[in-house]
A and B are shown apart, each in its own frame.
Chain A
Amino acid sequence: MSTPVIPVTAGTPGDELPGAAVLGKISYRIPITYAVLALAALLGLVGTMIGREGVWSQETEFQSRYGDQWFTIPNFSVPSMLTVIVLTVVLIAAAVYGYLLTRDRRTAPLWLHIVVGLAFVLAFLTWAGAGKTSVIPVTSLLAGALALSVPLIFGAMSGVICERSGIINIAIEGQLLFGAFAAAVVASLLTAPYLGLIAAPIAGGLVGALLAWFAVSYQVNQIIIGVVLNTLVLGLTSFFFSTLLADNASTWNARQPLGVIEIPLLSQIPILGPVLFRQTILVYLMYVTVIVLQIMLFRSRWGLRTRAVGEHPKAADTVGIHVNKRRVWNTILGGAVAGLGGAFFTVGSGLAFGREMSAGNGFIALAAMILGKWNPTGALVAALLFGFSKNLGNVLGTIGSPMPSQLLAMLPYVITIFAVAGLVGRVRAPAAEGIPYTK
């Protein structure tokens, strides 16, 4: 009784049998994205040649100095038109190279994405700053971008933690706001900004606990309860802001900035050094959060169970994982992470608490999480891209760009959507997201 059992799973390459090889369809999404960017640069170039007087003699001045450094690159100017032409040629070449690679069924390497992104941004900056008396402050542009991204990144990490376990966290906005409030008040009362960093996650975790309680114990629709919690936190903080905090601002709502910690050596790296390594402890905590979460989610027991609970809770239940317990803890943890992010608005930026301070960042964080495919690093990139485009709009607004301000305000959204459509592709939410688990 030795009937053979055949070792085959789908797609096992077989012995070579006759018949022409058939190859699959090629997706040209990435070269098309490159080509669109190259085309945009080209159009801008041609438009400028026709439209502006004396373009050939214009120059663009860049500045990289930012605080004290051992050595600084002095401001330098480049001939605007020539630079844009060179960068446009680079973009076109990249598009062609990308096309050739894809046609030969090879994937475009990461450096090509980076070259394309840099070339486009530089071309845009050169074009925008052409013939202006003001300089393009490269380093402070990046530093501002990071600052705008910090709450988004914390918020997106919170979203990842909750949604990977199957709970939709619309309350990120409220958690950020409550974290900002708690950090400001505790820091001010005790004149200790670092204690604010302890109060903020507790406040955020509290909002998370409420969300989990209603979502798990009462199975209230998670989107609705999230919206209600946002409104609740907004009302509560606004009430205290206009009564208690306004009456005695010096006790309750004094500014308590966190000190900047400069990392020796690393902060001396030109351009990126001061941006990344001359920061408060909160920003360093953010780096740690992203890295740890990325590792834990995909490499740890906690991550495996969290993902199982968010994808197929019944399967998790059958191997003895407590689905609802896991969801409650993850939601509280997520709330705490968002709360910590909220502290950036107050102690992290050295500001007092202000009404509606979170200003929709929680929702953008949610978008960043989705665009990042529910992955910590993906969400990080999406949030950074968003912060960068937003600050680009701000900087261009102040130096006066050829673009109308309304269009500049749209910039972050347009760039983010374009990058996602062009480079990210299809995203898929955790399968059991938003569905209460009952036996």
Chain B
Amino acid sequence: MKLELRGITKTFGPLVANDHIDLVVEPGEIHALLGENGAGKSTLMNVLYGLYDPDGGQILLEDRPVTFDGPGDAVRAGIGMVHQHFMLVPVFTVAESVALGYEPAGPGGILDLQAARRKVEEISERFGFHVDPDALIEELPVGVQQRVEIIKALSRDAKVLILDEPTAVLTPQETDELIKIMGELQDAGTSIVFITHKLREVRAIADRITVIRRGKVVGEASPESTETELASLMVGRSVSLAVDKTPAEVHDNSLVVSDLTVLNGSTPVVDHVSFTVQGGEILAIAGVQGNGQTELAEVILGIDEAAAGSITLDGKELLGLTVRQRLRAGIGFVPEDRSTDGVVSSFSIAENLVLDLYDTEPFAKGVSMYPARVAENAEVRTQEFDVRLTDIQDPISTLSGGNAQKVVLAREMSRPLRLLVASQPTRGLDVGSIEFVHKRIVAERDHGTPVLIVSTELDEVLALADRVAVMYRGRIIGIVDAREAGPAGINRDVLGLMMAGVPLEDAVQQAASHQSTLAGADALADGKDLT
């Protein structure tokens, strides 16, 4: 279906989030929207989906003007959307979440849950997402929730599909699957608007690229452009996509995890895990989401409980300490899901920046708090991390996804740390911000702090890590050293195989002999092969 936006304008108070934006998406076209954090991409899509009323402009479907009173109208008109912040009810099962709004039901409105379950199974099978229809949403890691959100959008047979950062927490393999699905939908005539910050994806799949900066369309780019060209078009300056770092200089201080087990009910989700992170090095945990990384990170901070084992930081046992004691011991923690665990959405940006320090000097003394100092701190931090905002006293829910992530990072990385644990640290950040955050993480390491990164993003793992541990089904199936990088060391193929449960040595062998098949993903991303 042909979609056209004409002169869409949307303001929030003094802020013009969308300024006369024009956009045409032809039937069967995949149209990528690029732009830095806060550029106005999600706002534009929310206007299109009927969630926001535009202050000006027109939406046309098949050249006929339409007005949407709410998402219900947009859905009826054939528009589907994967939202950047998932729209899933935490206490529902996967099947219920997918069915909601389109429930298969019998007489008396009694749900046919069997049919709902089948639908989930059918779609997840067809597209290679493996999701249990009876799992509770709140118990799923974000990567799996992302798959559910995609299944939900696909189950509606939309004629215009909006994908707002659908790949932010997917693994490279899953992203490949999604790209394949997008190709199939395209062949069937579906128009797709695709928002992402990962430039290789854009180059692999987009037919056209529109770049937005500060609410305005600044131009179109051809999918043949290099990543560097796209990056500089987005942020308006040249961006270095590689991370500069010197070899790690390790210190004596360390995080030691030994024989750690975490249970979910009676199934171990972290299973006898042992590793050490020395001061001055970055250990990355790679793996497909749902293999225990979430629980591992959370048990270090104390949100999850360990069933056995020990975690020591600089020789002191952490298990048994409260979360607050651990924070005070100098743990910086970036949670994988910023909207549920990272921020209090009704609090102001300034308050969110002192969530962990609000009761200590200089922000408070005795029973009194000093709002002026909280505000001053917020000014400094948001400047430093380039958070795009209108006023630091606005609720954090008014920030764009990437800017909210920067607030979490600014809070967690701006005090003296003895350990940094960061899950998906650059989730939703634009390339310019990723460059900055990577530099900060490396600086933290060079400062002598042990750094533990959990990421599904292999590029990020390879760029940052000194050593990489791969988790599979709750176990660490191998730790590889980045200093051995090369054909025999870590590369995408070896890590990809290990993430599928192949032990290190076999993975190295297989990767060497089957290079050609596995290089497919890269070839795809380079736009040479679109099968």
Contacts and interface: CB of A to CB of B under 8 A. Distances in A.
Do A and B come from the same complex?
yes
Interface of A: 1-15, 17, 19-25, 105, 295-296, 299-302, 304-305, 307-308, 311-312, 314-322, 431, 439
Contact of A320 (B52, B76, B269, B520): B76
Interface stretch (B173-181, B215-223, B406-414, B435-443): B173-181
A295 B172 CA distance: 43
Given A299-B111, A319-B71, A322-B72, A304 B474 contact: no
Contacts of B531: 1
Given A1-B517, A10-B144, A23-B263, A302 B72 contact: no
Contact of A305 (B73, B100, B139, B266): B100
A316 B263 contact: no
Nearest to A439: B51
Contacts, number: 172
B267 A318 contact: no
B266 to A, nearest CB: 6
A304 B496 contact: no
B261 to A, nearest CB: 4
Contact of B75 (A3, A4, A300, A319): A319
Closest 7 CB pairs of A and B: A1-B520, A319-B101, A320-B72, A7-B130, A14-B473, A315-B87, A19-B272
13 contacts: A1-B521, A3-B518, A5-B177, A8-B130, A14-B474, A23-B263, A300-B105, A301-B109, A311-B90, A317-B71, A319-B71, A319-B100, A320-B71
A6 B499 contact: yes
Interface stretch (B15-23, B91-99, B352-360, B382-390): B91-99
Contacts of B109: 296, 300-302
Contacts of A8: 130, 288, 290-291, 472-473
Interface in B62-100: 70-73, 75-76, 81, 83, 87-92, 96, 99-100
A311 B89 contact: yes
B140 A10 contact: yes
Nearest to A13: B267
B474 A312 contact: no
Nearest to A295: B110
B268 interface: yes
A105 B521 CA distance: 47
A304 B103 contact: yes
B100 A316 contact: yes
B277 interface: no
Contacts of A20: 272
Given A5-B177, A9-B144, A14-B474, A22 B135 contact: no
Nearest to B514: A2
Contacts of A19: 271-272
Interface string B241-278: 00000000000000000000101111111011000000
A7 to B, nearest CB: 4
B128 interface: yes
Nearest to B517: A2
B280 to A, nearest CB: 31
B102 A319 contact: yes
Interface in B441-472: 472
Q: Which of A2, A6, A305, A322 has the most CB of B within 10 A?
A: A6
A304 B96 contact: yes
A12 B92 CA distance: 20
B111 A301 contact: yes
B529 interface: yes
Contacts of A311: 89-92
Contacts of B174: 5
A301 B75 contact: no
Given A23-B307, A321-B72, A300 B265 contact: no
Nearest to B174: A5
Interface in B482-531: 496-497, 499-501, 517-518, 520-521, 523-524, 529, 531
B475 A17 contact: yes
A11 B265 contact: yes
Contacts of B101: 305, 316, 319-321
